[in-house]
Amino acid sequence: MGPFRWLTVNSPDGAQGVELVLEPMSFPPAQTYQKALFDAGMPGTAFLTEDIQAEFARRKERGVKFHGEPKSMGLIISVVFEDSCGNLINLVQPLL
C-alpha cells in the first residue's frame, strides 16, 4: 500500500469480522475534526465491557488517563478515557 501500513485489531470474543481502524491524522482537516471532538469531550468510539469497575481499575493502574469515575447513566455505566493518539474513548457496561 505504498507508504501506508496498518494494524488490524480484533477480539477473539467479539463479533466475527469486526475490526478497529484508526485513520492517519496527517490530513489537516482530520486533525481539526479530531481536536474539535476532543475539546468538546466527544468520544470517537466506545468499547463494551461486562465489568467496568475491573476494567477501570486495570487500565488506571497501567496509566490510562480517565475523565472521571465510572458513572451510572440509565441503562449503562460509562467512563471516558484518552487513547495515545488524541482521541477520547467511551468504556461502557450495559446494565441489561
Instruction: Give me the mean pLDDT over the 55-81 stretch.
Output: 97
Q: Which amino acid is at 28?
A: P
Q: What is the pLDDT of residue 24?
A: 67
Among residues 56, 48, 58, the alpha carbon closest in space to that of 93 is found at: 48
Distance of CA 40 to the CA centre of its chain: 15
CA dihedral sign, ordered 51, 52, 57, 62: positive
pTM for this model (two decimals): 0.77
Three-state DSSP at 29 gives helix
| pLDDT tens digit sequence for 1-51 | 677 777 777 777 777 767 766 666 788 888 899 899 999 999 988 999 999
